[in-house]
């Protein structure tokens, strides 16, 4: 890329991104754009490699095509079937790599990588990629455990690499509008947030189909897939349904709650809860899983509290999404839909509380100050306002486009390694509380969690 072309690209990207920004820890961080500007020219495109091509890797490759900002160079996976699908997705153009991700990282013509492996591989692959000089888009959760985060953050800074963590909702127009409403003070003081993410199907509970003809040592590499995880006998169930097992995942909390946590941190301008307490269990899906199918958690952020819940045993839309409850109104984000803003309807319950008084005393009280008007409340109850958002393109496309633009401009996106570490850490605290039966406290100075 020539210096003049690069300068033009940087100026154009900066202009497009300058309209909205977030102040976090005293730093001005540009927020991701909600509308894709025009496609990048051939010399401006990022040469992209993919490590892990399961469900999310497949989706991210399609998203990368839609951004019109990337050249798809190579894909690496431990299953030959996934590599064949990548060939199909690219009309045979993308190079394939069977279970040797370090060879992909050795390629000088790859600028950045998308990491979409199971969680237990995230730390090692991200550190290797950063050391190889690659920028990294890594699926959430960024970490498999809290202790992984500091080294990943440090490596990104030392190698001067761009990192984007993949909780894509924060790149949506809906979430930017929600942040604008909350930070404007329109809802008053938000003291409580409720959030839930539910499913009720076998596949939604991670019992994904297992491909036929799978043979270790032939079209699948079990030892490479295990990597840093404990050594156990070959079991395809653990590969294609890995989120059910503690060795590779944190279950509901790191798959679903981390999305909710990232959104809450983004909209509320928060970083980390002071404490977390959780409960749950395997209440219905007795299918060999180790992680709970139902999980509830309470987060204390000091100035507001969060009630978060998830179950795989009911997909009721009641309460599904995120609700911000303020002194002057509430805002409900509906998963996969729009938002509803509802002003508060305030009235005092004086009649109820003074009905045991003598009638004359009641009337005297109601005639004092504004007691009678406060008791009657506003003449008209405020109607909810439906705010519809149709993500065209999808938030995953926007989030990946933001990453690719950051790679070119060298300006950080919102979901940096620092942000990804803390949102994942809050999710890990849920699991630590669930498994220990104790409330977990966050020590911001040490960057660690401990039992209360």
pLDDT digits (tens, 9 = 90+) for 359-404: 999 999 999 999 999 998 888 888 888 887 765 678 999 999 999 9
- CA–CA separation, 397 vs 171, rounded Å? 9
How does strand 305-311 pair with strand 321-326? unpaired
> In whole angstroms, what is the distance from residue 176 CA to residue 32 CA?
9
Average pLDDT for 439-448: 96
By the 8 A CB rule, do 273 and 299 touch? yes
359, 381, 403 — which closes off a domain? 381
Answer yes or no: is 337 within a domain: no
Q: What is the mean pLDDT of residues 190-219?
A: 97
CA dihedral 390, 393, 399, 405 (to 10 degrees): -140
pLDDT of residue 4: 37
Residue 67 pLDDT exceeds 80: yes
Please give the C-alpha separations between residue 322 and each of 195, 275, 318, in angstroms, as whole numbers. 4, 20, 11
Nearest residue to 350 via CA among 364, 332, 331: 364
Task: Give yes or no: residues 67 and 94 share one domain.
Answer: yes
Mean pLDDT of 203-228: 97
**What mean pLDDT is reported for the chain?**
91
Residue 134 φ/ψ, nearest 5 degrees:
-95, 140
Looking at the chain, the whole-number percentage of residues with pLDDT higher than 90 is 83
The span from the CA of 99 to the CA of 239, in Å, is: 14
Last residue of a domain, which of 356, 381, 406?
A: 381
pLDDT in tens, 242-257: 999 999 999 999 999 9
Whether 57 maps to a domain, the answer reads yes
Is residue 371 a part of any domain in this protein?
A: yes
373 with 350, same domain? yes
User: For the chain, give me the number of helices (H) and strands (E)?
Assistant: 16, 18
Question: Is residue 277 a contact partner of residue 298, using CB atoms and an 8 Å limit?
Answer: yes
**For residue 6, is pLDDT > 70?**
no
Range of the domain at 370: 346-381
Flag whether pLDDT at 9 surpasses 50: no
The answer to whether residues 351 and 417 belong to one domain is no
Q: What angle do CA 359, 360, 366 make, to 5 degrees?
A: 90
Residues 362 and 406 in one domain: no
What mean pLDDT do residues 314-318 have?
A: 78
**Residue 165's CATH number:** 3.40.50.720
Do residues 89 and 157 both lie within one domain?
yes
Residue 14 predicted with pLDDT over 50: no
At 28 the pLDDT is 47
Span 292-317, average pLDDT: 95
Mean pLDDT for the stretch of residues 276-298: 98
Q: How far apart are the first and last CA of the chain?
A: 54
CB 69 within 8 A of CB 397: no
Q: What is the pLDDT of residue 10?
A: 35
User: What's the burial of 284, exposed, middle or buried (CB within 10 Å: 0-12/13-18/19+)?
Assistant: middle
Query: Has residue 213 got a pLDDT over 90?
Result: yes
Contact yes or no for 306/191 (Cβ under 8 A): no
Report whether pLDDT(47) > 80: yes
Q: Are 338 and 371 in contact (CB under 8 A)?
A: no
Q: Which two tokens stand for residue 22?
A: 């977030």
pLDDT, average across residues 212-223? 97
Give the tens place of pLDDT for each residue, 81-95. 999 999 999 999 999
User: Above 70 in pLDDT, residue 7?
Assistant: no
Among 292, 271, 300, smallest CA distance to 452 is for: 300
Q: Answer yes or no: is 207 within a domain.
A: no
Residue 377 and residue 399 in one domain = no
- C-alpha–C-alpha distance, residues 304 and 306, integer Å: 7
Q: Do 362 and 418 lie in a common domain? A: no
Percent helix, percent strand, percent coil in the chain, to nearest 5 = 40, 20, 40
Continuous segment of H or E residues that includes residue 33: none
Average the pLDDT over 218-228 and give the result.
Answer: 98
**Cα–Cα distance for residue pair 309/307, rounded to 1 Å:** 7
Same domain as 418, residue 351: no
Q: Report d(CA 320, CA 255) in Å as an integer.
A: 16
What is the total count of domains within the chain?
A: 2
Mean pLDDT is lowest, of 1-10, 183-192, 395-404, for 1-10
What is the SS3 assignment for 257? helix
The pTM for the full model equals 0.90
Please indicate, yes or no, if residue 47 is contained in any of the structural domains: yes
Q: Which of 318, 361, 324 is nearest to 339 (CA)?
A: 324
Q: Assess if residue 334 is contained within a domain.
A: no
Distances (CA, A) of 408 to 34, 46, 133, 343, 402: 18, 8, 14, 43, 10
Look up residue 205 and give its two tokens. Answer: 């509970």
The pLDDT of residue 392 is 64
Instruction: Establish if 159 belongs to a structural domain.
Output: yes
Res. 27: pLDDT tops 60 = no
């Amino acid at each position: 890329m020539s210096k003049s072309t690069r300068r033009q690209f940087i100026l154009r990207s900066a202009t497009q991104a300058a309209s909205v920004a977030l102040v976090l820890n005293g730093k001005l961080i540009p927020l991701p754009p909600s509308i894709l500007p025009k496609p990048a020219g051939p010399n401006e495109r990022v040469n992209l490699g993919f490590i892990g091509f399961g469900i999310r890797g497949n989706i991210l490759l399609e998203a990368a095509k839609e951004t019109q900002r990337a050249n798809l160079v190579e894909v690496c996976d431990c299953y030959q079937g996934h590599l064949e699908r990548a060939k199909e997705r690219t009309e045979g153009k993308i190079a394939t790599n069977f279970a040797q991700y370090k060879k992909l990282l050795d390629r000088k013509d790859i600028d950045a990588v998308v990491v979409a492996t199971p969680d237990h591989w995230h730390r090692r692959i991200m550190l290797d990629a950063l050391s190889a000089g690659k920028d990294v888009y890594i699926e959430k959760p960024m970490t498999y455990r809290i202790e992984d985060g500091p080294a990943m953050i440090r490596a990104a800074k030392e190698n001067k690499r761009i990192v984007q963590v993949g909780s894509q909702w924060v790149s949506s127009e809906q979430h930017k509008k929600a942040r604008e409403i909350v930070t404007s003070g329109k809802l008053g003081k938000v003291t409580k947030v409720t959030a839930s993410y539910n499913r009720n199907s076998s596949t939604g509970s991670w019992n994904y189909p297992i491909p036929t003809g799978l043979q270790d040592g032939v079209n699948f590499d079990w030892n490479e897939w295990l990597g840093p995880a404990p050594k156990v006998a070959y079991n395809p169930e653990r590969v294609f349904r890995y989120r059910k097992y503690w060795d590779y995942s944190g279950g509901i909390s790191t798959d679903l709650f981390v999305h909710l946590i990232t959104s809450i941190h983004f909209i509320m301008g928060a970083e980390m809860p002071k404490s977390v307490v959780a409960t749950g269990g395997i209440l219905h899906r007795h299918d060999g899983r180790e992680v709970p199918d139902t999980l509830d958690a309470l987060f204390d952020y000091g100035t507001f509290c969060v009630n978060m819940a998830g179950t795989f045993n009911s997909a009721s839309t009641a309460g599904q999404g995120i609700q911000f409850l303020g002194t002057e109104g509430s805002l409900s984000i509906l998963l996969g839909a729009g938002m509803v803003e509802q002003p508060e309807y305030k009235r005092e319950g004086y009649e109820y509380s003074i009905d045991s008084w003598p009638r004359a005393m009641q009337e005297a009280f109601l005639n004092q100050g504004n007691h009678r008007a406060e008791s009657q409340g506003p003449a008209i109850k405020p109607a909810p306002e439906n705010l519809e958002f149709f993500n065209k393109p999808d938030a995953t496309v926007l989030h990946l486009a933001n990453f690719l633009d950051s790679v070119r401009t060298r300006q950080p996106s919102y979901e940096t390694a620092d942000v990804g570490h803390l949102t994942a850490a809050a999710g890990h605290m849920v699991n630590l509380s669930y498994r220990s039966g104790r409330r977990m406290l966050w020590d911001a100075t040490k960057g660690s969690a401990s039992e209360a």
